[in-house]
Amino acid sequence: RLAVERAAVWLMASRGDGVARLVSSPWRADPYPTYARLREGTGVYRSKLRITSVATHALCSKVLRDRTFGVRSTDGAEPPPFAASGLPGEVEVIPSMLEVDAPDHTRLRALARPAFSPAKITGYRAGIEEATARLLERALAKDRFDLMADFAAPLPITVISALLGIPDVDSAAFVRYGRVLGASLDGTKSVRHARALRTANRELRALFTRLIAERTADPGPDVISALATSTGLTALELATTCELLLIAGFETTTNLIGNAVWTFARNPDQWDRLRADPALVGAAVDEVLRYEPPVQMTARIPHRDTEVAGTPVAANSMVIVLLGSAGRDPAAFERPDEFDIGRPKGADHLAFSSGAHYCLGAPLARLEGEIALGALAGALPAITAVAEPKWRKTTVIRGLSELWLSPGTGS
Ligand code: HEM
């Protein structure tokens, strides 16, 4: 969808409008003052290139839920799917459920939904706790450890691989796929990135083609077996759904854990509070999702001429929905720029989006976040960063590439 184009267009739009700071590194370190400016007035911002963005909670919510808006244009202009490199020799890449509208979206989502039923989610708990304990023990045995490489990345990879039934996971390769595909949400940035994308697509497709053939012949209790033995999916849709679940399942959760730890590092009183009252862990995960969401924006396309807060929006034009801005909107949350894990229940954050494409894996992401954060809170009396964290050079995805911590004296 949008994807390759969307962030690229966003970049052009912001440059054209003289707000290049949106994509510069100071913006990456702190995008929120820029969002505050975009929320001024009606909360609708129209770039010189006539790209519309919506920044308030109410408008983001409205656009995501309004059936006038879809994720594809209806004028026949097919934007390439975000996972496409555009280079020759690419495996065939089709849009995933994230990138299609009803009726295809409804069909694809319904087939994947059983993997995230409440009973299934409960069943994943023991495996997540075991992986968390193992990774944490190994990380804490070091003099200093990189939270991202030693914990935040391998944990969700282990979880989603177990769920899909991927044996002998090559974590390093998966981290590479996640980074390359996650970065492609901003568009294909360079020839080097395009090549890395083509390689990631080929390797992932080879992996899933093999696993799908095995599970079709000899199904097990895993999600690939369930999808492979269901009817109603073409072979290419099946592979694409598996690839989406893998990538959506860890890249974002990795950044939830990293963003959480970094936010607590800057708010030690909140860390003390969580350590004193572990029952706050669920609220803490949601507060991180509101305050530092791993997915900062998405996009929608109106299927007919319409308007948003009085601003006309033409059919098949692009509307950027600033999820990260919605979480900081003072009209929806009191003291929005304060990180407060005990805040009274206000509006729902939009970190998992809303409407038809609401994150299918949200219950799993919450569970992983709670177990990871709970374990860290039990083990680290304080979060002691031993170097400045490094932010990833991405716009749609917000997360750290490195966060070096000292284990301190465990308690
Ligand atoms: C969709 C965020 C974890 C699977 C989405 C969307 C967002 C999102 C914002 C919708 C984008 C849009 O409306 O255009 C997140 C965040 C996560 C997370 C912040 C972690 C903190 C997961 C996990 C899985 C997953 C763990 C699965 C294992 C999906 C799928 C969709 C989706 C399949 C597509 C749903 C659809 O198009 O109907 N996610 N996600 N996500 N997510 Fe997540």
DSSP-assigned states of every residue in 195-239: HHHHHHHHHHHHHHHHHHHHHHHS--SSHHHHHHTSSS--HHHHH
**Centroid of ligand 1 to alpha carbon of 351 (angstroms):** 9
CATH superfamily ID and name for 3-80+101-406: Cytochrome P450 (1.10.630.10)
- The Å distance, Cα 272 to ligand 1 centre, comes to 30
Is 253's C-beta closer than 6 angstroms to any atom of ligand 1?
Answer: yes
Q: What is the mean pLDDT of the chain?
A: 89
> In terms of pLDDT, which residue wins out, 347 or 364?
364
Residue 245 CA, ligand 1 centroid: distance in Å: 9
Please provide residue 67's backbone torsions phi and psi, each rounded to the nearest 5 degrees. -70, -10
**Cβ–Cβ under 8 Å, residues 207 and 169:** no
* Residue 186 to residue 172: CA distance in whole angstroms: 22
Q: Tell me the C-alpha distance between 283 and 125, whole Å.
A: 18
CA–CA separation, 52 and 321 (whole Å): 9
**Which residue has the least CA distance to atom 14 on ligand 1?**
298
User: Complex ipTM, two decimals?
Assistant: 0.99
Percent of the chain scoring above 70 in pLDDT: 91
Residue-wise pLDDT for 139-157, tens only, equals 999 999 999 999 999 999 9
Q: Is the CB of 357 under 6 A from ligand 1?
A: yes
pLDDT of residue 399 exceeding 80: yes
**Ligand 1 geometric centre to CA of 48 (Å):** 31
Task: Please state, as a whole number, how many other Cβ atoms lie within 10 Å of the Cβ of residue 324.
Answer: 25
Return the number of other C-beta atoms located less than 10 Å from residue 169's C-beta: 15
Question: Is the pTM for the entire model greater than 0.90?
Answer: yes
3-state secondary structure of 246: helix
Q: Is 361 in the pocket of ligand 1 (CB under 6 A)?
A: yes
- Each residue of 169-215: pLDDT tens digit? 787 888 888 888 888 777 776 788 889 889 999 999 999 999 999 99
Mean pLDDT of 45-52: 76
